[in-house]
Structure 1
C-alpha cells in the first residue's frame, strides 16, 4: 500500500532524497522509476510525487507516456523483427528489446515458438540498463509461462499513460473488478503504457476501453457509477 502523500513529497530532478528516505525507514530501500543512486545519495531524476510501499520500495509517480525500461516490470511489446536467435520487440522505449526464442515455455533449438512479426507479446524485463540493450523473457524462474507469452490476435491493444497503468494494477483500485462484474473480458496491463483487451463483442471492447481511459482522473468512489454510465446501465446501490 502506498504511503500517504503531502505537498512536501513533490520532488524535482536533482533533489537529494537520502535524508527524507531515512525519516521513513531505516532499512535497506529499493529504488524504482525516477530514483537512482549517485555515490551514496538517492537522487531524483524526474519530477513528480515520491511514493513508497510497505516493502521499502520507493519511486516517483508522475504523468508521462515515454517508457523507461525497469528490471522486473511486465510489459506488452510488438514483435518488429526476427534476427537469428532473437526477436526484436518494440516496447515503447528509445531502443527495441531483445527476446531470445529460448525464453518461451517449452522452446528448444528444434521446437521454436510460433512468433510472427506484428504479434503482441506479454513479457518481463530481465535486463534493463541504460548502457545495455533491454532483454525480455516470457518465462519465470521455474521455466513456466505463468501468463506470459504471445497474446491472442482476437484482442485489441491501446495506449495510455504510465500513471494509469500503475493505478489499474494497484490493489486499491476496483476498476477491473467492476468491469468483470459488468461484462466477461480478459485484460492484460503492461507497465509501458499499453493495455490489451478481449471482449465478446466490438461494442463491449469500445466501452471497456473508454471506461479504462476515463478512470485515470476518476476518484475511486466514483468508478462504479462511471462504468455503469458508459455501459448505459444504472449502478446498484
Structure 2
C-alpha cells in the first residue's frame, strides 16, 4: 500500500538492494541514510538492477535535485559554460563545456542558444547555482544525454513526468507504441520530448501527452486512438 510520508519519516526501502533515488528524497553522506525532503506518497518500484524510490507530490515549480533527468534550453553562452533554462519559474543552471563525453579545452561542444539538451543534475546546493551534465559521470559516456534535435516538447506537470519516468507499470508509453515508433526523453522538470519519423505522428504524440495528463488512465487508449485517427483523416482530407 502507498504510504504518506513527511520530512523526517523513516522510509520503507530495502537497504540491501541498489536504490536509484528520484525527486523528494535525499541521501545524507554523513549518516548514510535516505531521507524524504517533501511530503507526499512514497513510491518504490522494482527494477532489473534493484529498485527506484521517489516521493510523489504536487508542485508547479521545479526545484533541481541531484540525479534528476531534465530537459533544458540553452539561453546563454560563456567562455567555459552554457546557461540552461529548465523552467519558466526557476533560475537558470550551468552546463560546463567539460560536462560532455570526450570534452577537452580543444574539443568543445558546439551548442547554440535555443538548442534543447537532455541532461542530469550533478550539483544542487541551496546557496549556489545548480549544475547539469550531458554524460554518465560513472562511465564517461553519453548514456542518451546531449543535444535533442527535431521533434516536439510537451510541457506537463512534474508529477505526470515522474510517473512516466519512474513507474514501469505506467501504461502511457506502451499504449503509444501501438500506434507509432518514437524517440522519447523525459525530464522531471515537466518537459517531455518526442520525435517520430513522420511529423504528423509527432503531432499526434504531442496532443496525446497534453490530454492524457488530465484524464484517468482508463481513458488513455481511446484518447490516443482518437488523436492518431484525426491526424490520418486530416492528411487524407476526410
**Of 160, 174, 179, the match for 2:156:** 160
* C-alpha RMSD of the superposition: 3.0
Corresponding residue of 1:108: 104
Cα distance in 2, alignment partners of residues 198 and 56 from structure 1: 29
CA contact (8 A) 1:65 1:160 kept: no
CA contact (8 A) 1:167 1:216 kept: no
Question: Structure 2: which 5+ runs fail to align?
Answer: 231-238
Cα distance in 1, alignment partners of residues 177 and 13 from structure 2: 37
Matched, 1:33 2:31: no
State the TM-score, normalized to the length of structure 1.
0.78
Cα distance in 1, alignment partners of residues 168 and 22 from structure 2: 18
Q: Secondary structure at the match of 2:70?
A: strand
Structure 1 residue 168, shift from structure 2 partner: 1.4
Corresponding residue of 1:49: 41
Shift of the 65–202 alpha-carbon distance from structure 1 to 2, 3 Å rule, reads farther
Per-residue CA deviation, residues 119-161 of structure 1 (Å, 9 max, x unaligned), is 1111111112223221111111222112111110x22212110
Q: Secondary structure at the match of 2:213?
A: helix
Per-residue CA deviation, residues 188-237 of structure 1 (Å, 9 max, x unaligned), is 1111111112234443223211211222244444433331122228xxxx
Question: Structure 1: which 5+ runs fail to align?
Answer: none
CA contact (8 A) 2:45 2:168 kept: no
State the TM-score, normalized to the length of structure 2.
0.78
Matched, 1:79 2:69: no
